[in-house]
Amino acid sequence: MTVKHDDESTKPSATETAGGELGVDTGGTFTDVIALQNGALAVYKIASTPEAPDAAVIDGVRHFAGDAAADWRIVHGSTVATNALLENKLARTAYIANTGFADVLTIGRQARRELYALEPEAAPVPVPADLCFEIDARRDAQGAPLVALDDAMRGSLVEQVRESGVEAVAINLLFAFLDGADEAAIENALREALPDLTIARGSRVLPEYGEYERGIATWLNAALGPAVGGYLRRLEAALDRVAIMHGAAGTVGVDQAADNAVNLLLSGPAGGLLGARFVARSAGLERVLTLDMGGTSSDVALVGDELALTSKTRIADYPVAVPMVDMHTIGAGGGSIAWLDAGGLLQVGPQSAGAEPGPACYGKGGDQPTVTDAHVVLGRLPASTRLGGHMGLDVDAARAAVARIAEPLDLGVEDAAAGILRVADEAMTAALRVISVARGESVADDSLLCFGGAGPLHACALAEGMGMKRVLIPVFAGVLSALGMLVARRSRERSLSVLQPLADIDAGQIDEWLAPLRNATRDELVEEGVAEADIEERLSADLRYAGQSASLNLPWQTPDDLLEAFHAAHAARYGHRFDLAVELVNLRLHRAGPVPDVALPEIKAGDGMPAAAETVAVHGLGDDVPVYDRDSLCAGQRFEGPAIVRESVTTTWIAAGWSVDVDQAGNLLLEQ
């Protein structure tokens, strides 16, 4: 295999458009595309188009495919759902509940975000009171009807929704996770009368106990549906064969993705974790702590043999209980703006310069100091660097921007830039601790894997902050999320609430309960081209002590083995175990097609020190620092820091005291 790093002037030849596979990841600053064709991998970065994100995706695909996009298999990680939620650009949505329960989403869990504030800021109201509608039908805690749903109830509800003028409807009835017939009947009545509505019902979106969490997930699915559905339909019309990455790190067809908008939250970051696991395995690493630092934010996770999923994600301060990759996100990216608070203290983020105008060094008119500008000022991002292979750096603009911070602090521009990086590094180190040591996980013997356009610039500082001695800078580090799209499997996640003592469960009951879920996921995967014989299954269980509300998820085993595994897991997480009955809360079913046949190319072998492309001055160091072009490095080469490794999609800063080995795939293995 060969590797190409395309720049903006490179256009594919006629033979290059004969078909292949494309992974596309939309970020806040750049849209990344990676192409696999005839055993070769090529990458391309283009500025994101936030007002019309499909425009950058289509341009990136056509860079490789020309007018023959239908001949390519395209996997896309989308930020449309996440951005719509973060920016509160949601459809006008009605909420349907049982009588007396219309305000569940507003009341929530009554948890106070500011425990000691005498006048706490009011939490946002998801659905206004005039759009919350009640229905008298009711089921009991076993799912049996107490008050039957009749035609009069349905007719009245349809008229209320019609008069409200909403774009979407969320249906969330009590105990519908046990029997969703009433919700389905209401949905059918609404679809018949109002065919243009986007409709979500809790018994399909999240058939689990927990009225509030299920309601939020259902509301989000409905409120995000119009924006997500419209975006995906436009992509499908332009590109034809598109699969979408969902938040649990698998892919789904456009039709399914449009109907399950809430599952597309964390779509792009999930691709990054798949790419990280793929590259870590190629380098022989079993577990890595990951940092994905893009232009706007940084995502951290602990990645082992299988990606950990969680149903406890919070986005925009809402609980999103559908299964997603387990990661922690902070507003610190390459484009994060440095500023002084009311007390004169230096802060970094969460505001970002974004794609337009971007950091000052982009030369697009930005004048706010950012993390990227700080690297330019210090010389860690050399003036000769061409971002994405085509975008030059404006050093003078970067210095002028950082000077806006330096002057009120009475610092030199370089010292202010160093301060910006220290603040950003501390924020990211704190995030890494949240996902690892705060959960009782020691990472001293693991490796830190840094990727994203900005991540490798911070790798050494973050590893030192975490007490880690090894770092992996993967090949294609700047577009690793896009690479993850190529190795993603077609998959489905389903859940089922049980709420019974584990001691009362037998294997026959499990198979009976799961049969409908297995049949439905089989049919969906087969429809998307997966052979039934190739479908793999993984089953897990949410368990808790009787009387607890929080649960732990463990791989399914026999009930006796599962009991002991839960006691051990509880002791490891919380430091103690109880002599109490254990309850099976939820079953979680994962079904997936085969792993795509993708392999990293091998680079040519070499020995000795690589030849430096140039040397540059870096603030704080007496001697100039060598700059190596990553494309010229050979497998088996070794060199020492301080040094800079430059490539079209990212730059790596190797601090003094660190050595670098280049492996056969071109990964950089750093060791202190």
Residue 480's pLDDT is what?
92
Q: How far apart are CA 145 and CA 135, in angstroms?
A: 14
Tokens of 278: 């793929």
Tokens of 491: 């998959």
How much is the average pLDDT of 223-238? 93
pLDDT tens, 399-410? 999 999 999 999
DSSP codes, 397-465: HHHHHHHHHHHHHT--HHHHHHHHHHHHHHHHHHHHHHHTGGGT---TTSEEEEESSSGGGSHHHHHHH
Integer-rounded Cα Rg, in Å, for the chain is 26
Provide the 10 A C-beta neighbour count for residue 179. Answer: 16
DSSP codes, 183-249: HHHHHHHHHHH-TT-EEEEHHHH--SS-HHHHHHHHHHHHHHHHHHHHHHHHHHHHHSSEEEE-TTS
How much is the average pLDDT of 651-671? 96
Q: How far apart are CA 296 and CA 453, in angstroms?
A: 10
Which range is least confidently modeled, 208-212, 257-261, 355-359, 482-486? 355-359
Identity (one letter) of the amino acid at 591? R
Identity (one letter) of the amino acid at 592? A
Instruction: Say which DSSP state 633 is in.
Output: -
Residue 91 binned pLDDT confidence (cut-offs 50, 70, 90)? very high
How much is the average pLDDT of 90-101? 97
pLDDT tens, 309-344? 999 898 888 999 999 999 988 888 888 999 999 999
Count CA atoms closer than 13 A to 243's CA, side-chain side: 25
Q: Closest Cα partner for 270 from 52, 489, 48?
A: 489
Q: How far apart are CA 271 and CA 249, in angstroms?
A: 6
Residue 657's pLDDT is what?
95
pTM (2 decimals)? 0.88
Q: Closest Cα partner for 611 from 652, 639, 636, 635?
A: 639
pLDDT tens, 36-53? 988 788 888 888 888 888
Instruction: Say which DSSP state 642 is in.
Output: S
Residue 389's pLDDT is what?
67
pLDDT tens, 431-444? 999 999 988 889 99
Q: How far apart are CA 398 and CA 413, in angstroms?
A: 10
- pLDDT surpasses 60 at 30: yes
Q: How far apart are CA 271 and CA 452, in angstroms?
A: 12
- pLDDT surpasses 50 at 200: yes
- pLDDT surpasses 70 at 4: no
Ramachandran area for residue 285 (φ above 0: left; ψ -120 to 50: alpha; else beta): beta
Residue 18's pLDDT is what?
58
Residue 14's pLDDT is what?
33
Residue 211 main-chain phi, psi, to 5 deg: -55, -45
Instruction: Say which DSSP state 540 is in.
Output: E
- Tracing tokens 């209401």 back to the chain, one arrives at 186
Burial string for 424-440 (b: 16+ CB within 10 Å, else e) reads bbebbbebbbebbeeee
Q: Is the dihedral of CA 439, 444, 447, 453 positive or negative?
A: positive
Q: Closest Cα partner for 388 from 421, 424, 362?
A: 362
Partnered with residue 135 across adjacent β-strands are 98
- pLDDT surpasses 70 at 17: no
Domain ranges of the chain: 3-86+229-264, 491-592, 614-671
Burial string for 509-518 (b: 16+ CB within 10 Å, else e) reads ebeeebeebe
Residue 566 binned pLDDT confidence (cut-offs 50, 70, 90)? very high
pLDDT tens, 158-188? 999 999 999 999 999 999 999 999 999 999 9
CA 489 distance to own-chain centroid? 16
- pLDDT surpasses 90 at 385: no
pLDDT tens, 607-649? 888 999 999 999 999 999 999 999 999 999 999 999 999 988 8
SS3 (DSSP) at 341: coil
Residue 15 binned pLDDT confidence (cut-offs 50, 70, 90)? very low
Partnered with residue 299 across adjacent β-strands are 292, 329
- pLDDT surpasses 80 at 111: no
Task: Please name the residues in contact with 243: beta carbons below 8 A apart, sequence gap of 6 or more.
Answer: 73, 74, 75, 76, 251, 252, 253, 254, 488, 490, 528
Residue 268's pLDDT is what?
87
Q: Closest Cα partner for 50 from 21, 89, 22, 23?
A: 89
Identity (one letter) of the amino acid at 610? P
Partnered with residue 77 across adjacent β-strands are 25
Burial class (CB in 10 A: 0-12, 13-18, 19+), 531: exposed
Residue 388 binned pLDDT confidence (cut-offs 50, 70, 90)? low
Q: Closest Cα partner for 555 from 267, 302, 306?
A: 306
Identity (one letter) of the amino acid at 624? D
Q: How far apart are CA 651 and CA 643, in angstroms?
A: 11
Tokens of 150: 């009749």
- pLDDT surpasses 60 at 9: no
Mean pLDDT of the chain: 91
Residue 573's pLDDT is what?
86
The secondary structure element, H or E, covering residue 373 is helix 371-378
Count CA atoms closer than 13 A to 439's CA, side-chain side: 15
Range 3-86+229-264 has CATH code 3.30.420.40: yes
Tokens of 223: 């409120």
pLDDT tens, 593-616? 999 988 888 899 988 889 999 999
Instruction: Say which DSSP state 513 is in.
Output: H
